[in-house]
Each structure stands twice: as structure tokens, then as C-alpha cells.
Amino acid sequence: MPKTIREVADLKSQRDKQLATKDRQIDHLTKLIDQQQQLQLATVAKNKELTAHVQKLSGLLENSNISKKKLENDKKYGVHKNKLKLNNSWWHFW
């Protein structure tokens, strides 16, 4: 019987060690999950920030393209307008 008691005590000790190991593993995995969630939240926030920046840059680029087209049209119209002025102004000399 004393041998059985010792065996039971050894089994309890092994079980306690296994449970302690499992508890440490669970704690470690919980920390990893928390870290992963924090990284995911940071990634989502950074993605929103970058999306807003891209939209701002797209707006600036669009405005720049509109300004270029307007300038080109103004130059064309201005040259055309000057030619009309020259052509229509010749009769003032007579």
C-alpha cells in the first residue's frame, strides 16, 4: 500500500507539472493573440491613413490635370484670339 500511495503522489506531481506547463503555454498563446490583434488594428489604421493620403494625392493630380488642360486651352484660345484681333484690325489703317 505505501508503494501505491507513492505512485499516486508521483502521478499527482506529474499531473501538476503538466498543468503548469499547459498554463504557461496558454498564457503565451494568449499574449500572442493579443499582439496579433494589436498589429491588425494598427494595420487597419495605417491602411485608412494611406487610403486618405492616396485620395488627397489623386485629387491634387486631378486638379493639376484640369489646370494643365485649362492652360492649354487658354493658350490655344489666346493665340486664336490674337490672330482674330490682327485679322480684324487691318482695316483700321485705311
Q: State pLDDT tens for residues 26-82.
A: 999 999 999 999 999 999 999 999 999 999 988 888 888 777 777 777 777 665 555
What pLDDT is stored for residue 63 in this prediction? 82
Tell me how many degrees the CA angle 84-89-93 measures, rounded to the nearest 5. 160
| Spatial distance between the Cα atoms of 9 and 15, rounded to a whole number of angstroms | 10
Distance between CA atoms of residues 11 and 20, nearest Å: 14
Cell triple for 23: 498554463
* pLDDT for the residue 77: 66
Alpha-carbon radius of gyration of the chain: 40
Residue 37 has a pLDDT of 98
**Is the pLDDT assigned to residue 22 strictly greater than 80?**
yes
Q: Which pTM value belongs to this model?
A: 0.54
